[in-house]
Amino acid sequence: MGERVFVIALAMLVLICSTVSAANVGVSPANINFKDVLRGGYAERPIIVTIDAESPVDVTVSTRGEIASWLAFSEENFSVSKGAPMQLMVSTNPPRDTPNGIYSGFVTVKISELGEGVEGFATGLVIPTLDVYVTVQITDQESISCQATSFKVTSAEQGDDIIFSLDVLNTGNIRISPQITFDIWDQDSINLVKQVEFSDVEIIPTKRESLLIKIPSDGLEVGQYWVDMSAIDCYASQTLTFDILEVGALRAFGSLDRIIVAPWADIDEIVPIAASFKNAGEKPLDAKFVGKITFKNKIIQLIESEESLFVPINEQSNFQFYFTPRKAGKYVISGRVFYDNKRTYEQSTILNVKSKGVTIGSVTRTSAYFILILIIATLIFKIHKERKSYISKSRGFMR
């Protein structure tokens, strides 16, 4: 009987341990190859970090090998879960005195602390680690090249800026400031009515930038126009058409979808706050957020964007703020967005601040371990009791 109880106890321990420690981490791609990087130059590549755990899992990244000091990350500590993978940018910046050749190293992706597991058990017994093999090819030959795509223009009301956009990828190994030219023609494409050049943005190697270029509409009457839009350095161009409309012809409409903040925070913790605004109208908008933070029905802080945020048509942008609570309790964060002489509905959300020294994770983890210890103690007691009864019966039989 004692042996049976012991086997049951062992099985339960194995089940619990497997429940609280199971998590599979994945990284794609498994290898990174930086080609034709200049000495003292720069290049970057993205990798995707995934995990099959439902709850958020803390991940750290580090480097090793001969190029460890050349590598950097967009973030060194972050969280991932099954529904929220992480796109991590890995960059390299080799020293200026590096000889030509191919060098290698590793990016190590490690789970430092697992989150809450199945049925409330804390996890953290198994720490998966993956290595991403990285090679860097050093050259002294400069290469200038780029790709320009997604040429766009939006119609504008008379007096408003005309908004042009395009994506530029620097496929060379030196920094570039691509020259963009605009030749604007009348409706019949006969008379050239406006010429503009733009080269104000610097793009580092392997980086893709989305360029938004504003051109004043002064001197253009109401009507249709054509534009030859060219990215000269990228050997790319496209002919587009747009309209200059009467004032008030385009509908301006935006919505403050929500104010985003973590539901719980600690005293003196720096808490990020994001206000998500969407331009659902027919013209680009310059928008500004104005709001407040209240505690026990008293305003303790006003929050307002210092500059207007430019939001293209059908785009969603976030206003970012930070707040440091000094007392425990419930805070109400509220506000609205002002744009084009209009304002959105007011939105609000709750931030709960707890006292220092107590965290939800620590309470859950402590409770799980207490339950585990209680189960083990109960099983040991039963084993001891069964063994004692067995010995007593054996002695009585021998007599």
**Residue 27 CA from chain centroid, whole number:** 16
- DSSP classification of residue 203: B
Instruction: State the pairing for strand pair 271-279/316-323.
Output: antiparallel
**Residue 107 CA from chain centroid, whole number:** 19
Q: How many CA atoms lie within 13 A of 386 on its CB side?
A: 12
Domain count across the chain: 3
Each residue's pLDDT expressed in tens, for the chain with a length of 399 residues: 455 544 454 445 444 444 444 567 889 999 999 999 999 999 999 999 998 888 888 999 999 999 999 999 999 999 998 888 999 999 999 999 999 999 999 999 998 655 444 443 334 444 568 899 999 999 999 999 999 999 999 999 999 999 999 999 999 999 999 999 999 999 999 999 999 999 999 999 999 999 999 999 999 999 999 999 999 999 999 999 999 999 999 999 999 999 999 999 999 999 999 999 999 999 999 999 999 999 999 999 999 998 999 999 999 999 999 999 999 999 999 999 999 999 999 999 999 999 875 555 555 566 666 777 878 878 777 776 776 665 565 555 555
Please report the pLDDT score of residue 4 as a whole number.
53
Nearest to 323 by CA among 297, 355, 291: 291
In a domain, 75, yes or no: yes
Tracing tokens 């920094």 back to the chain, one arrives at 175
Residue partners of 33: CB distance under 8 A and separation at least 6: 134, 135, 137
Please report the pLDDT score of residue 55 as a whole number.
85
Domain boundary among 204, 225, 245: 245
Please report the pLDDT score of residue 178 as a whole number.
96
In a domain, 7, yes or no: no
**What residues pair up with 298 in beta bridges, in sequence order?**
295
In a domain, 369, yes or no: no
Structure tokens at 249: 């012809």
Nearest to 194 by CA among 225, 160, 158: 225
Domain boundary among 245, 273, 300: 245
Q: Give this prediction's pTM.
A: 0.71
> What range defines the domain where residue 284 resides?
254-354
In a domain, 395, yes or no: no
Q: How far apart are CA 347 and CA 289, in angstroms?
A: 11
Contact 215, 284 (CB under 8 A): no
Looking at the structure, do residues 267 and 341 belong to the same domain, yes or no? yes
Residue partners of 20: CB distance under 8 A and separation at least 6: 114, 117, 118, 121, 122, 123, 124, 125, 368
Q: What is the CATH number of the domain that holds 322?
A: 2.60.40.10
Please report the pLDDT score of residue 121 as a whole number.
38
Contact 225, 242 (CB under 8 A): yes
Q: How far apart are CA 120 and CA 235, in angstroms?
A: 58
Looking at the structure, do residues 127 and 151 belong to the same domain, yes or no? no
pLDDT digits (tens, 9 = 90+) for 288-306: 999 999 999 999 999 999 8
**What residues pair up with 67 in beta bridges, in sequence order?**
none
Write the CA distances from 207 to 7, 32, 172, 174, integer angstroms: 59, 16, 10, 11
Looking at the structure, do residues 270 and 212 belong to the same domain, yes or no? no
Please report the pLDDT score of residue 381 as a whole number.
72
Question: Which of 336-369 are b and which e, b meaning 16 or more Cβ less than 10 Å from the residue's Cβ?
Answer: bbbbbeeebeebebebebbeeeeeeeeebbeebe
Domain boundary among 224, 245, 266: 245
